[in-house]
Amino acid sequence: MKSRAVLFGALIVAFVCTTYAQTEIALLSPNPIQTTINALVGDFEMKTGIHVAVTYGTGVSTRKTVASGQAPDVALLFAPFPEALATGNIVPKSATVIARLRLGVAVKKGAPKPDISTADAVRRTLLNAASIVAIDPEQGSAGGAVLMALDKLGLTEQLKPKIVWVANAGMVQDSVAKGQYELALGPYISEMRNPGLDIVGALPPEAAPPIDITGFISTNTKNAQAGRALLDYLSSPAATPAYQSAKIFPVR
């Protein structure tokens, strides 16, 4: 019986590889999760034989790419993405949340770490900060997430005078590492790996809504089955360790 089970498993693997042999699909992804997606795509290719050609852009530019009618076979988008959905370039029913991002807080290395354990603690920390820096919402999706968090906390107007918006994550990190600003607000992932920073942690969901990373299949794809297989893998328990190691939060 054992030999039959082994044979059956081998036949399944052979079937999968034969079914998708020579299949190539294109994937669009935001670049803050590039390292993790590269690793997961490599595993997916090895297990299925499907080749995935990945293109990366910012959270804002990927949404614009899809909205402009240039959606590849599969697109990963940071929520929200109403413009992309409204164009009809992606299939709404294919929406698959593969993981979630959380906003994080960082300070200059060696500086005291503020309390961010609860929504009230986050409010006090932000109100007491001398200055805060984040990515411009027009240039990076992390900035939009910061605005949503401030709205949720009811601090948008109060904090306007002390928040500085800059062009990218590198500028956010460098300015806090150099002591120009007190707090950095950004994704609790690779964008906070500057050695001059101490990461305080991720903001609790009641203070900052988690950001869904949602995958869609293009309405124009010729490889919907392969695209579905990719999204199923990226949202499966098999992907959980890769997300956890990158401080990305799995959905399962």
The Cα 213–Cα 4 span in angstroms is 40
Predicted confidence (pLDDT) at residue 195 exceeds the cutoff of 60: yes
pTM, to two decimals:
0.82
On whether residue 55 sits in a domain, the answer given is yes
Which carries the bigger pLDDT value, residue 173 or residue 11?
173
Q: Are 135 and 197 members of one domain?
A: yes
Predicted confidence (pLDDT) at residue 45 exceeds the cutoff of 50: yes
**H helices present in the chain, as ranges:** 2-19, 34-48, 59-67, 82-86, 119-128, 141-153, 156-159, 169-177, 224-234, 240-245
Q: Say what percent of the chain tops pLDDT 90.
A: 74
Mean pLDDT of 67-77: 94
On whether residue 36 sits in a domain, the answer given is yes
Q: Say what percent of the chain tops pLDDT 70.
A: 90
Which carries the bigger pLDDT value, residue 73 or residue 192?
73
If one counts the domains in the chain, the total is 2
| AA identity, residue 12 | I
∠ CA 130-103-208 to the nearest 5 degrees?
Answer: 90
Give the pLDDT band (50/70/90) at residue 225. very high
On whether residue 207 sits in a domain, the answer given is no
Q: Return the pLDDT at 251.
A: 87
Mean pLDDT of 25-49: 95
Say which CATH number the domain at 16 has.
3.40.190.10
